[in-house]
Structure formats: C-alpha cells, structure tokens
Amino acid sequence: MSDSNNSGLSAGIALLLIPIVAVAAIIGLVVMFVVVINSDSANGADCNLGGSAVTVSGTLPSQVGDYSGDQLTNAAAIITIGAQRSLSARAQQIALIAAMTESSLHNDSGGDRDSAGLFQMRPSQGWGTYQQVTDISFAINEFYDRLVQVANWQTMDPGDVAQAIERSAYPARYATHVAQAVQIMNALSGVTATVVSATDDGLVCGSGVGNTDITLPAGAVGPTGPHAAVIAQVIAYAEAQLGKPYVLGGAGPDVWDCSGLTMKAYASVGIDIGPHDSTAQWRKGVASGQMHPLSQVQAGDLIFWGGNDAYHVGISLGGNWMIAAPQPGENVKIQTVWGTPNSEVWRPVDGLPSDES
C-alpha cells in the first residue's frame, strides 16, 4: 500500500436514500446512499482540465491521419500560439511532435507517475502545478519557453530538440512523428485557435466546482460547512475511479496508487496538496497549519498512516469511512478506516477563502 517515491448536513444537501428492504440483513452488505450538493457553479464536464477552453475559426478537418476531434483542436492551439509568439514553422512542428508522442494530442488528466497534459509535464520536476500543466495555454507556452532555450534548436533534428526538452526514456519515439506533424500543419493551414485559460480574466468554468453527486455508505457523514460543494467534487472525482486497479506509481487515468489518487482528486478543484508521494503530502499538510484531530475527521479530510514518514493516504467520507487506492492486487474502493492512522488529518479546504461555497 506504500507509494511514498458534525452532526447533520447543510440545507444545501439533499439525501436520496436507495430503498433498502430485507437485504440489509445480509452479512457484509455496505448500504450506500447518494448525496447531491447544490451548487451554482458550472458543471465540471463543461470545463477543460485546467480551466482552459479552445475554440477554432476556419474549417477544421474531420480527420488528418489518425487524428481527429479534440486532437486537431489542440494541434491548432499549438500552431496558433507558436505563430503568435513569432516562432517559426519549425518550432511549431517540434511542439506538435512532442505532444503527438507524449499524449497523442489529448490534454490527458494523468500518465506516468505525475505526468499530465498535452506534453505530459511533471509537476514534481518543476514544470508547474497540476492545474497549470493541464491548462492548454500554460502548457504550450511553457514548452515554447523551454524550446527557445535549447542551443542550436533551429538546426538540430526536430526529434532531438523534442527529446532535449522532454528528456524521455524513449528518445527514438519523436522521430516517428516528424512527417505526421508536417501533414497536420498543412491540413490546418488557415485554421486559428483561441485559448481561454485559467490565467485569463474570462474564465469559462465558474468557480471550478464540477460534479457534486457522490455516493456514501451508511454511517458516513457527507460534506458540510462553507466548502461542502468543493469537498463533494473531490470525492466525486475519486469515486469516478472506483474499481480501477492499484499500481505503484499510478496517477490515472486507468491505474492509481494512494497518493496519486489524492493528488489528482484535489487538483481537480485547483488545490495543490503536494507531489505524488504520501510522505510529502503529509509533511505539506503539517506545514500548512491545517491539521485537525483524527477524532474530528470530516468528509474530504486526508487520513494518513506511518507518522512523519507516511506510507499511505486516503480521503475521508466522514465517520469511519474513506475512499482510497489500497494496495497491489486491489482496486480503488470505499472502505472503513483500518488499523492505526496518524492522530491528525489534513483538511486542505481550510486554505480556501471563507466565503467559498
């Protein structure tokens, strides 16, 4: 399981109890109920990962080689931002090659270790926060910032430039996309993109709070207080991963370990709880001054095991329940709090403005 590397619900919470008949007597049955937390915020499904949205003008081809849809929209964003920065077609080609290789031109929510976004940038390696590297505008501009710092990039092989920036364990992959990048550039001639990002004034995602429909076991106490809707989105994100296997180093989208799940769940609401490491997350919580006694645990709190060298972390569902990626051979699941956790829990929403709702 290691992957280190109150009472009552607020008026805005409606409980929909699934009818329970005689089945409640079955041994081991976990009775579940759905909690819906009302929010005036835009639904997260309408938002891009980092709060960015891309629109295109001109005729976007339906298919270019193996690429279509959002892949071509993201390619148009790469080309447009490069042109806006007065960077050459060669620079744009290199950026396309990197994104084609790293993410197949998808703004991925996860990848190897803590990699994410178009270029699979790693927050733990200084590329930016998770929210930044999954913001399309930030990621593209960050890539170009690093590209122009590569000595002699204008005359180097495009694949070699991409490797100098990405530092992949498989450097030969970039060369396989050189010709395809040119094909996409030719096909998107005349197409321009407009990117609204999380750093722009005109955000398209409201407060960033998305899905707040969550399922809790009987005996759990759902999110309460001024940040209930934010906490519900964190839990909803984690619940969307239920049944996916534990893999050490996993940070989505298909495999998870404990700190990968907590990191991405909180990143989904724009809260940085630290890198993909349960020890580092625990220590950041302690340093934040947002710790609370385990006896006062609330939904959304982070529960740790292992003292100051924490080796496991889960997300509280209130009461004696939590959701976590437990250990090899198991899947992400809702379970009771086991063993002897640390005597304090971290409540990351304490860092939000007091009027957050």
Higher pLDDT, 155 or 197: 155
Question: What's the pLDDT at 89?
Answer: 95
Do residues 294 and 303 make contact, with C-beta atoms less than 8 angstroms apart?
yes
* Bridge partners (DSSP) listed for residue 116: 121
Band of residue 207 on the pLDDT scale cut at 50, 70, 90: very low
Residue found under tokens 């991963």: 241
- How far, in Å, CA of 146 to CA of 143, rounded? 5
Of 91-95, 131-135, 172-176, 222-226, give the lowest mean pLDDT range.
131-135
Band of residue 197 on the pLDDT scale cut at 50, 70, 90: low
Domains of the chain in start order, with CATH, are 13-41+213-351 (3.90.1720.10), 53-196 (1.10.530)
- How far, in Å, CA of 139 to CA of 121, rounded? 8
- How far, in Å, CA of 310 to CA of 254, rounded? 24
Question: What's the pLDDT at 269?
Answer: 81
- Does 156 have pLDDT greater than 90? yes
Q: What would the DSSP string read from start to end of 281-325?
A: HHHHHHHHT-EEEGGG--TT-EEEESGGG--EEEEEEETTEEEE-
Higher pLDDT, 12 or 331: 331
Of 38-52, 78-92, 225-239, give the lowest mean pLDDT range.
38-52
What are 36-78's pLDDT values in tens digits? Answer: 444 433 333 333 444 456 778 888 999 999 999 989 999 999 9
- Does 203 have pLDDT greater than 80? no
Q: Report pTM.
A: 0.50
Question: What's the pLDDT at 196?
Answer: 61
Band of residue 3 on the pLDDT scale cut at 50, 70, 90: low
Alpha carbon distance, N-terminus to C-terminus of the chain: 34
